[in-house]
Amino acid sequence: MIDLKFLRENPEIVKENIKKKFQDAKLPLVDEVIELDAQYRSFKQEADTLRGGRNKLSKQIGMLMAQGKRDEAEEVKRQVSAQAQRLAELEVLEDEYSEKIKNIMMRIPNIIDPSVPIGRDDSENVEVQKYGEPVVPEFDIPYHAEIMENLKGLDLDSARKVAGNGFYYLMGDIARLHSAIISYARDFMIDRGFTYCVPPFMIRSEVVTGVMSFAEMDAMMYKIEGEDLYLIGTSEHSMIGKFIDTIIPEAELPYTLTSYSPCFRKEKGAHGIEERGVYRIHQFEKQEMIVVCKPEESPVWFDKLWQNTVDLFRTLDIPVRTLECCSGDLADLKVKSIDVEAWSPRQKKYFEVGSCSNLGDAQARRLRIRVNGKDSKYFAHTLNNTVVAPPRMLIAFLENNMNADGSINIPVALRPYMGGKEKITK
């Protein structure tokens, strides 16, 4: 959510930003919120005047009564009564218009960074850099679900009976590999100075609307029936929510946290063959990183965060590339975003395994996360990035570490988490 004062003073900049995101249907919202804001400030000014005059009139009544001027005092009382009625009406209008403005402001996209490439959708995202040499082996690599099933590590049929499509059973060494990757990612981030955290796996609606747009919420979140609770779709929602309604001493920044959680997503829509198996699912686990920092430090932290993911994947012998998200592919709260994509030898292309985002002060405004600076209070900046999100990450791992006989090499970095195993075999 952008600053209302900024919108009021720079409506054309806000409109141009909307056009860059190819959301022209939202252009009328800018003029609408300016008009509502003008009415709101008019109501507030009148209400403040009445509140200020109320004390003076009360004192006047006391003086008139003391002087025995009862009739004049009664006349002033009638004025106070009439003003009280008008003040009550104005306070209702203040609340009503404030809510209308808030609802519209939450639909207007954040101002994107000037470096963001302009494009309509993810097909126009821009490759930044490749890390590691993509290899296509001479032997055929099966579909990832087949690899796991051949190693007795995946049972989709039973999961379908128990929970429906989009769920899975992981077993044996594949299940162990899943847990090993999460544990390795946790320690990797702790070694880089991040504080480990296990957050709540459900959050209230106020936190949901504070960390994401309405469109994302509808497409992603599972609502707990009869309660003001949602299952988290990704760990950073709960982690950023941790700071709701806080005033942080500036000297304590930055907060750098890495969190583990299961995640739950509706995953609306039809998906192609590459999104069957365990690529796009309703339930998965994730190691996440989040940063809460001063505004001037967020660009530096943005680069540090995506680099962490690149470095981790390279220690596991997985080639990756970074891809800058274009304007039309950015969610409304994001200032800038880079996806990390892993190489798939089977598909002979890269696919997304993580996403790093700088949200500026958008989440902090919605959740009222402020910093107590030397001269004044200001809103913090928030950032998040995926460390790893298995079982999707397992696809890249299995394909890039597979041998012709179907066995899977375990990179040196991961062996301590796999009981010293060097290979997974049938």
Provide the pLDDT confidence category of residue 64 given band limits of 50, 70 and 90: low
pLDDT band at 268 (very low <50, low <70, confident <90, very high): low
d(CA 242, CA 45): 35
Note the pLDDT tens digit of each residue in 277-310: 898 889 999 999 999 999 999 999 999 999 999 9
Written as one string, the DSSP assignment of 355-402 is EEEE-TTHHHHHHTEEEE-SSSEEEPEEEEEEEE-TTHHHHHHHHHTB
Average pLDDT, the chain: 92
Greater confidence, 170 or 214?
A: 170
Which of 423, 340, 416, 354 is CA-nearest to residue 187?
A: 416
Start-end of H helices in 21-117: 27-66, 70-105
* Residue 74 pLDDT exceeds 90: no
Q: Which two tokens stand for residue 4?
A: 């209302």
Rg of the chain in Å (alpha carbons): 27
Whether CATH 1.10.287.40 fits 4-105 = yes
Domain spans of the chain, in order of start: 4-105, 122-424
pLDDT tens digits for range 157-213? 999 999 988 899 999 999 999 999 999 999 999 999 999 999 999 999 999 999 987
pLDDT, one tens digit per residue, over 101-122 is 999 999 999 999 999 999 999 9
Q: Distance between CA 389 and CA 409 in Å, rounded?
A: 20
The one-letter amino acid code at 99 reads: E
Nearest CA to 244 out of 292, 202, 201 is that of 292
My answer on whether omega of the bond before 134 falls inside 30° of 0, hence cis, is no
Residue 228 tokens, joined: 């003001």
- Right CATH number for 122-424 from 3.30.930.10, 3.30.70.260, 3.30.2270.10, 3.40.47.10? 3.30.930.10
117 CB neighbour count, 10 Å cutoff: 14
pLDDT at 274 over 60: no
CA atoms of 186 and 396, how far apart (whole Å):
19
